[in-house]
Each structure stands twice: as C-alpha cells, then as structure tokens.
A and B are shown apart, each in its own frame.
Chain A
Amino acid sequence: MSEVFTKSMARNIYYGGSLFFILLFLALTFQTHQELPKRDNRAAITEKVALGKRLWEENDCIGCHTLLGEGAYFAPELGNVYVRFGKNKDAIKGFIASRPENGVPGRRSMPQFHFTDEELDAIAEFLKYTSEINTSNWPPNING
C-alpha cells in the first residue's frame, strides 16, 4: 500500500480523537452527577454510615470481599448482605463479632477485629446503606 498515509495525519487523528472523547466523557460525567442523587442513597449517609465506611476501609474488608462486585473474590459479596441476612443488623454484627481468633481449621477464615459495639453498628449501617443503592437490579440473586 503506497497510499499516502502520513504520520502527521495519524498524529492529527490522535489529537482530535482524544480531545473529542475526553470532552464527551466529561459531558457524560457531568450528566451522571446530575442523575446520582436519585440513585446513590446519599440521604442515608449519616455520620454513622461514614464511620462504617471508614472502618470498612481501615480493616481492608475489600481485601477478601466484593462490594457491588468490586474487590477480592475470596469471600462473599457484601453489597446485599443486609438483605441476605434478613434485613437484620444484629445478624451482621453477630457474625463479625463471633469470628474465631485463630480461624476455622482448614476453612477460609475471617479475622477477629475486636470491634466495639458502636463500631459494629456503624459497619452494619454502612452495609445497609450500600444495599439500598440503585445498582440496576444487581446482583442477580440473594447470593451476591
């Protein structure tokens, strides 16, 4: 192909194409932010929920679990655990509090974090808040 296919035209397409799609993506991002209040359950973000998110991060729960499908694949999805546990915060708190210090022999084990009651409540609130975000009907079923 001895067609005239110049480097400068390729460069122009790179510049023009990139700029075009950066602008388009920014426009879609802007639109998304306008839509989010209807979907992201932000009204439920109390100080307790914010504390719960902080605890989720500072104990690296995402290192074993997924949250809305993102994270590690060692342990169950927790975006819908509030629903899976019968919309029962105490069930969540009880599960976390009852993890054996040295794990369960031979089975995948979750650490014992020695959370206070307030911290357990915050984590449960965070997971409740998460379960009420509009995720377009994901996950497909209760198992997450």
Chain B
Amino acid sequence: MEYRSQSVAKLYFIAAIGLFVGQILFGLIMGLQYVWGDFLFPAIPFNVARMVHTNLLIVWLLFGFMGAAYYLVPEEAERELHSPGLAVALFWIFLIAGALTILGYLFVPYSGLAKLTMNELLPTMGREFLEQPTITKLGIVVVALGFLYNIGMTILGGRKTVVNLVLLTGLTGLALLFLFAFYNPDNLVKDKFYWWWVVHLWVEGVWELILGSILAFVLIKTTGVDREVIEKWLYVIIAMTLITGIVGTGHHYYWIGTPEYWQWWGSVFSAMEPIPFFMMTLFAFNMVNRRRREHPNQAAVLWALGTSVMAFLGAGVWGFLHTLAPVNYYTHGTQITAAHGHMAFYGAYVMIVLTIISYAMPRLRGQEAADPKAQVVEMWGFWLMTVSIVFITLFLTGAGILQVWLQRYSENPLPFMVVQEKISLFYWLREIAGLVFLVGLVVYVWSFFVKGGERRVPAAEPVA
C-alpha cells in the first residue's frame, strides 16, 4: 500500500469476513427451520435467527464499505487518511455495539430488549432490517458521522477524483437516508412509505454509487485502462441508476395503501432499473478486454467480473421478473421475493466487498497479489459460493412459482401453511445448496492462509 494509514482497512475487512461467517451460520439455521419447524424453538425462534442473519449481513457490508473507503480514498486523494486513530476508535465502537446488539437479540426476548433499551422514548424497533434498539441506531449515526468526517476531510485536503467523489456521495446518501429509520408513525401506510426511503433508496440507489465507485477503482488498478475512460463510464452508470431508481421506488408502492398511479409509474421506471447493471457488466468486461497489463491478482479480476454478472442477474434480471405490477400482484411477499433478494444482495454487495478485499488485502499484507496457490484456493471459494447462490436462487424460484400457483393464482387456492408443506422439497434442496455455500466460504477464508506457487505474471517488488 502506498499510504500507511490505509492499514486501518485491514481491521474492517477482517471484521467483515468474521460477521459474514456468522451471517451464514444463522442462515443455515433458518433454512433448517423452514423444514424442521421447531428446530431450536423456543430458544432461538425463527424471527430471532432472521434478525441476526439480516442484521449481520447489513453490518458486515457496512464494515466492508468502510474498509473499502479507508483503503481507496487515501490512494485516490494521494494523501494519508485524516485521522487513522479515529478510524480505529470507530471500528471498535461499531464492532462492540454491533456485537452487543446481536447478543441482545439472542439472549433477551425482543420485547424485553425493547424495555431494556427504552424503546418507548423513541420507538424505532420492530421493523424489518431495522430491528436494532433505538440506542444502537443512534450509535450507528454517530459512527457514520465520524466516518464521513474522516473520509471527507481526507478528500477535501487531497485529490478529488471522480471515484472519490462518487464514493463519498454514495456514503453520505447512505447516512442521510438512514435517518428515515427514526420516523415511525402510527399510520401504517406512512410507516411503510418512508421505510422504503431507507431500504430501496439504499440498495437500489446510493449503494449502487458505492458499488460503482469501488468497481471503477479496482478496474483502474487491475487493467491499467485510462482513468478518464473508466470515470466517464462511472458517471453514465450512476446517472442511469438514479434516473431509473428514484421513481423506481414506486414498485414498492403497489399494494400498501398508496394511490394506484404508482402501479404505472413504479412499473415503467423499475422495469428500467436493470439498465445500469447491464451497463456495469459491459463496462467491466470491456475494460478488462482493453487492459494494458496483466495484473498478478487474477482473483480480484475474477471477483470484479463476477460481481458485474451476478449483480445483473440477481438484481437486474430477477428483479425485473417480479417488478411489473400485474405480475407482482401475485408474487408479492412470496419465495420469489426471497429468491431475488438473495441473488441480488450476493451479486451486487457481497461480491463487491469481496472484490475490494481480494484486491486490497494482499497489498495490506505487503504483496502486490496473493501467492498463486492462495489465489487458486480463493477462486475455488468464488466458484463454490457463486454457484451455490445460483442454485439457492433457482430452488427458491421454484418454490415461489409453486407457491404463487397454489396459494394465489389457481381456482381453488390453498392456505399458506398447507402450501409451505407442499413446497418443502425445494426448501431441502435450498438448504443443501446453503451448506455448499458454507463450504465455499470456509475455502475462501482458508485462502488467506495459503502460501506458495509460482507466479506466471511477476508481481512488482514487495509493496511497503
């Protein structure tokens, strides 16, 4: 690495991967509960396993984004981080607060946790993905402000590249939109309306700016293609993201009590949300094709290309399949939703974090790229996880189609629980795929400890 303060990223990346493992373990618990209904009941009921699974996902991705920022911003800005000390302090605050929250979910009944944390003073608990006690949410805001201050000051005093500015815009948007998590009216329709201002405008909005800027950074570094070309593409991609995604929020406003014109506006604009993802695929492959060098870190290049494909498939294609109102009328709130959600989150956000870790971690450890044997193991991890997610998605899609047919569409619709029993084969298959995913994750983690092999592409002299 070029700047010593980039080393703080290592802490964030290690925490990210650790929390990722936790997320998957709880995912497997949930998958088993789908078919073995009272597994771990009442010690860990399904909803507790779920909030641990989803909250760990979001938190580890945030650690990943922060690590990515701490790594790439100094390099882009061509100066040291404003305050490495603050970065380390915020790391521990975030990690400890997060850990305490997760332990709270597991060891205290949720309503007890609400009383313990004085939820009644400003009630924000009990919404999906926003299960954190209000005090945790306030802590997140503090950590986010500190983080933005640190990164912002670094950029302010250094080179303001497009990559830096787009990343900062995405991260600032993330922080600002999170404030809507504090708005929890008694009016259920308004509650839901603004909840999506956090969730949709995150993952189909500002998070795409973060994704795009990290991808652009990795492509600049690994392909050697002119920055001007890459940054131009980045602008076009994020323009299309916001042009389609902002009004595209309307695809969550079909059936929640909001006016019916959203069925038209939401369908038209959300149908075009795959476009920026498709452009990202073209962008990634085009830049790699036009590369001016063979970078020794082939694993990172694989992750970058893989991200662009899987994000398009998971977010773009699977999203499109159920975004039009006439289709969504039947698929809303079914396993179709779960299928899309898993491939989209993995393809776009899990993979971009693993991409930047793949690129940056060797450099943080003093090499231009990991040893060839380590890269091979890492690539095995890539394929095992990616193919597993595809199968998880396919199985959930199968479950979803059958569920929609039996419970929503057919002439004699069946009750929810009856249908769940009938589609349980798909759940068993999904769980097996999930186990393979875990194997892939273990292989991936192991790759960080593998050494040796002969480089076909010579690495540059050891990085300081």
Chain A residues with a Cβ under 8 A of chain B: 5-7, 10-11, 13-14, 17-18, 20-22, 24-25, 28-29, 31-32, 35-36, 39-42, 45, 49-50, 53-54, 56-64, 66-77, 101-109, 111-113, 129-130, 133-136, 138-144
Does B114 lie within 8 Å of A18, measured CB to CB? no
State which of B85-93, B124-132, B147-155, B308-316 sits at the interface with chain A.
B124-132
- B242 contacts partner chain A, Cβ-Cβ < 8 Å: yes
Q: How far is the CA of A142 from the CA of B408 in the complex (A)?
A: 9
Does A72 lie within 8 Å of B192, measured CB to CB? no
CB contacts (< 8 Å) of A11 on chain B: these are 162, 235
Residue of B47, B235, B330 near A72 (CB, 8 A) is B47
CB contacts (< 8 Å) of A140 on chain B: these are 329-330, 408-409, 413
Closest to B400 in A: A73
Q: How far is the CA of A67 from the CA of B334 in the complex (A)?
A: 12
Does A32 lie within 8 Å of B193, measured CB to CB? yes
Interface residues of B in 386-417 (CB under 8 A from A): 407-409, 413-417
Flag B1-41 by CB within 8 Å of A: 1 or 0 each.
Answer: 00000000000000000000000000000000110111001
Residue of A70, A101, A108 near B42 (CB, 8 A) is A101
Interface residues of B in 217-265 (CB under 8 A from A): 228, 231-233, 235-236, 238-239, 242-243, 246-247, 249-250, 253-260, 262-263, 265
CB contacts (< 8 Å) of A62 on chain B: these are 47, 126-128
Q: B36 to chain A: closest CB distance in Å?
A: 7
- B292 contacts partner chain A, Cβ-Cβ < 8 Å: no
Size range of the chain B interface in the assembly: 35 or more
Q: How far is the CA of A40 from the CA of B420 in the complex (A)?
A: 31
CB contacts (< 8 Å) of B41 on chain A: these are 102-103, 109, 111
Residue among A50, A70, A71 having the largest count of chain B Cβ atoms under 10 Å:
A70
CB contacts (< 8 Å) of A50 on chain B: these are 186
Q: How far is the CA of A130 from the CA of B187 in the complex (A)?
A: 10
CB contacts (< 8 Å) of A72 on chain B: these are 46-47, 50, 128
Does A59 lie within 8 Å of B255, measured CB to CB? no
Does A73 lie within 8 Å of B333, measured CB to CB? yes
Residue of B114, B239, B337 near A14 (CB, 8 A) is B239
Q: How far is the CA of A106 from the CA of B35 in the complex (A)?
A: 9
Does B255 lie within 8 Å of A136, measured CB to CB? yes
Chain B residues with a Cβ under 8 A of chain A: 33-34, 36-38, 41-42, 45-48, 50-51, 110-111, 114, 119-120, 123, 125-128, 131, 162, 184, 186-190, 192-193, 228, 231-233, 235-236, 238-239, 242-243, 246-247, 249-250, 253-260, 262-263, 265, 329-330, 332-335, 337-338, 407-409, 413-417, 420
CB contacts (< 8 Å) of A53 on chain B: these are 186, 188
Q: How far is the CA of A76 from the CA of B36 in the complex (A)?
A: 17
Does B337 lie within 8 Å of A107, measured CB to CB? no
Does B333 lie within 8 Å of A77, measured CB to CB? yes
Does A133 lie within 8 Å of B257, measured CB to CB? yes
CB contacts (< 8 Å) of A101 on chain B: these are 42
CB contacts (< 8 Å) of A35 on chain B: these are 258-259
CB contacts (< 8 Å) of B36 on chain A: these are 106
Q: How far is the CA of A18 from the CA of B242 in the complex (A)?
A: 6
Q: How far is the CA of A130 from the CA of B42 in the complex (A)?
A: 28
Q: How far is the CA of A129 from the CA of B239 in the complex (A)?
A: 41
Offer 25 A-B interface pairs, CB within 8 angstroms, sorted by A: A10-B236, A10-B239, A11-B162, A11-B235, A13-B239, A28-B265, A32-B262, A40-B187, A40-B188, A40-B189, A54-B120, A58-B111, A62-B126, A64-B45, A68-B256, A69-B332, A70-B128, A109-B42, A111-B41, A111-B45, A113-B111, A135-B256, A139-B332, A143-B414, A144-B416
Q: B208 to chain A: closest CB distance in Å?
A: 12
Does A40 lie within 8 Å of B257, measured CB to CB? yes
Q: B32 to chain A: closest CB distance in Å?
A: 12
Q: How far is the CA of A76 from the CA of B421 in the complex (A)?
A: 13
Does A70 lie within 8 Å of B242, measured CB to CB? no
CB contacts (< 8 Å) of A73 on chain B: these are 333-335, 337-338
Q: How far is the CA of A28 from the CA of B265 in the complex (A)?
A: 10
Q: How far is the CA of A5 from the CA of B47 in the complex (A)?
A: 51
CB contacts (< 8 Å) of B128 on chain A: these are 62-63, 70-72
CB contacts (< 8 Å) of B416 on chain A: these are 75-77, 143-144
Q: How far is the CA of A104 from the CA of B417 in the complex (A)?
A: 14
Residue among A49, A62, A134 having the largest count of chain B Cβ atoms under 10 Å:
A62
CB contacts (< 8 Å) of B188 on chain A: these are 40, 53, 67-68, 129-130, 133
Closest to B257 in A: A133
Residue of A22, A28, A74 near B33 (CB, 8 A) is A74
Q: How far is the CA of A20 from the CA of B257 in the complex (A)?
A: 26
Does B259 lie within 8 Å of A143, measured CB to CB? no
Does A63 lie within 8 Å of B254, measured CB to CB? no
Residue among A5, A20, A58 having the largest count of chain B Cβ atoms under 10 Å:
A58
Top-8 shortest CB links A-B: A63-B47, A57-B126, A69-B333, A108-B37, A138-B255, A10-B235, A14-B239, A76-B416
